[in-house]
Amino acid sequence: MNDFSTVIIGGGVSGLTCAKYLYDKGMSFLILEGSDTLGGRVRTDRVEGFRLDRGFQVLLTNYTEARKILNYNDLDLRYFDSGALIKAKKGFMKVQNPFKNKAAYFSMAFSSVGSLSDKLKIRKLAKQVADIPDEAFFSMSDTDTLTFLKEYGWSNQMINNFFRPFFGGVFLENDLSTSSNFFQFVFKQFFKGEVALPSDGIEEIPKQMSGMLPKEQIRLNAPVKYIEGNQVFLEGGEVISADRVVIATDPHTAANLLGEDTAYQYQINTCTYFSAEYSPMKNQRFIILNPDRKGVVHNICVPSDISPKYGAAGKALISVSTQGLDKIDERQHIARIKRELFEWFGAQVNVWQHLRTYHLTEALVKFQAGTEKQNLKLGENLYRCGDYLAYPSLNGAMQTGREVAEMISEI
C-alpha cells in the first residue's frame, strides 16, 4: 500500500490544474489517469500526417484562468481573424469585431447581417460586459440566450444570421437554450481576447501543464475501480492510501466512483475532417457560419490556415462541424457534407479526402438557465473538479481545479 498526501483521479485539464496549484504550494500529490494520455477531451490525433483535434476546439485568450497558468508564448499561439464569415445566398458576409479593427465599423455598418440598430447594440453589450468579473456573470439572474437576445432588442434577422450560427457553434446547440449568463461571459471573451490555436494542436495545452509537474507524480494507464474512505482501489488490485482524494474525471466516471445516480444531459457534436489540395478560404482565417441550421454543415474552418502544422505535405486540413445528430451513418454524412459544400466552393470539394469523423455524443454538459454551480467539497477529505460542475469551458475546468487546490492548501 502506498501513501500520498493527495490523490487526484483523472489527468484532464481540471486535474492537471489542481495538481499545478498544489505543487506551487509545496504539497505532494499523485495523478492517476486511466488512459494512456493526459488531457481528457483536449486531445490531438495524428492521421496521415495531419493534426486532428478531437472535435473543433479553440483557446479564448482572455480566459482568466488560462492566463494564470499557461505560457502563451511557449504554446506558439496562432490566431483566427477576429469575426466570422456568414454564408449568404450568394457568397459570404463578413462580420468583424469593431473593437479589434476600427475599419470594421464601416464594413459592419453596410453589411446585411442585421440593421444598424442591431450593430450598435453589439457595441453597447460589449461595453456593458467588459468590466464584469468572470465569476460575477454566474451570480446574476438569467434566462435562456434566445430570450435574452430578443429582450435586448436584436432583430430576428440578426439573431438568425449571426447569433444563432455563431453562439450555437460555441454552445453546440441550435435553439440558444443555453443560459444567458454563460452567453454574456462568452461574449466578453470574444470581444476582449483572441481566438487561437496552439501551433502544434490543442493538446499542447495539457502537455504544457503536465510539463510543469514532476513526472514521477503522474501515472498513466492507472484506472481506478472504486474508492473507500481515504483508500483508492485500482483495477489491477493495487490500493493507494491518501490524506485526501480529488475526483477530476468525466461526469459518468465521477458518478460511478461516488455511487451517485446523476444523469447529465449533453450537447452532441460531430466534427468531420477532410484533406484538400488547397484551402477554399483564400487566405482568410475566419470561421464560416451557416445560418441554415437544417443543413449538415453548421460551421467550417481550415485549421491549416491558422497553423500550417495542422496540414500535411502541403495539403490543407478542412474541419466541418455539425450539432445535434443523435446517430450518424458516416458514408451518408460525408456525402451530404460534400453536396452542401459543392454549392459553397464548387468542384474542388469533389476531390477532398475524408480523414476522420468524431461523433461526440457527450461533447458538453448542457448549461441551461437556472443551472447552479455544484459543490466541489463532498466530505472532510473528498473533493471533485471539472467544468461540468461550474460551466462548460476550459476556463471552467481550470477554475474548479484551482478552487479545489485552494481548499486543500488552506487545511
- Domains within the chain, CATH numbers bracketed: 2-41+203-264+375-409 (3.50.50.60), 44-79+196-201+266-365 (3.90.660.20), 93-193 (no CATH)
Tell me what pLDDT residue 99 has.
62
Given a cut of 50, is residue 394 above it in pLDDT?
yes
Tell me what pLDDT residue 392 has.
96
Return the percentage of the chain with pLDDT > 90, whole number: 87
- 56-60, 97-101, 386-390: segment of lowest average pLDDT: 97-101
Of the pLDDT bands very low, low, confident and very high (cuts 50, 70, 90), residue 109 is very low
Three-state SS at 94? strand
**Cβ within 8 Å of residue 28, ≥6 positions away:** 4, 5, 6, 22, 217
Return the percentage of the chain with pLDDT > 70, whole number: 96
Is the pTM of the predicted complex or chain greater than 0.75? yes
Tell me what pLDDT residue 106 has.
41
Tell me the torsion sign for CA atoms 191, 282, 271, 111: positive
Scanning the structure block, which residue is given the C-alpha cell 452532441? 268
Q: What are phi and psi of 238, to 5 degrees?
A: -70, 145
Of the pLDDT bands very low, low, confident and very high (cuts 50, 70, 90), residue 101 is low
pLDDT tens string 349-385: 999 999 999 999 999 999 999 999 999 999 999 999 9
Tell me what pLDDT residue 410 has.
87
Three-state SS at 139? coil
pLDDT tens string 50-70: 999 999 999 999 999 999 999
d(CA 251, CA 258): 10
- 87-91, 179-183, 210-214, 299-303: segment of lowest average pLDDT: 87-91
Residues in the chain: 411
Of the pLDDT bands very low, low, confident and very high (cuts 50, 70, 90), residue 90 is confident
8 A C-beta contact, residue 148 and residue 103: no
Given a cut of 70, is residue 170 above it in pLDDT?
yes
Tell me what pLDDT residue 111 has.
58
* Count of C-beta atoms within a 10 Å radius of residue 27: 17
8 A C-beta contact, residue 339 and residue 352: no
- pLDDT averaged over every residue in the chain: 93
Q: What are phi and psi of 210, to 5 degrees?
A: -70, -30
Of the pLDDT bands very low, low, confident and very high (cuts 50, 70, 90), residue 257 is very high
pLDDT tens string 312-343: 999 999 999 999 998 999 999 999 999 999 99
Determine the average pLDDT of the residues in 134-157.
96
Given a cut of 90, is residue 96 above it in pLDDT?
no
Higher pLDDT, 108 or 132: 132
308, amino acid identity: P
Three-state SS at 409? helix
Tell me what pLDDT residue 110 has.
42
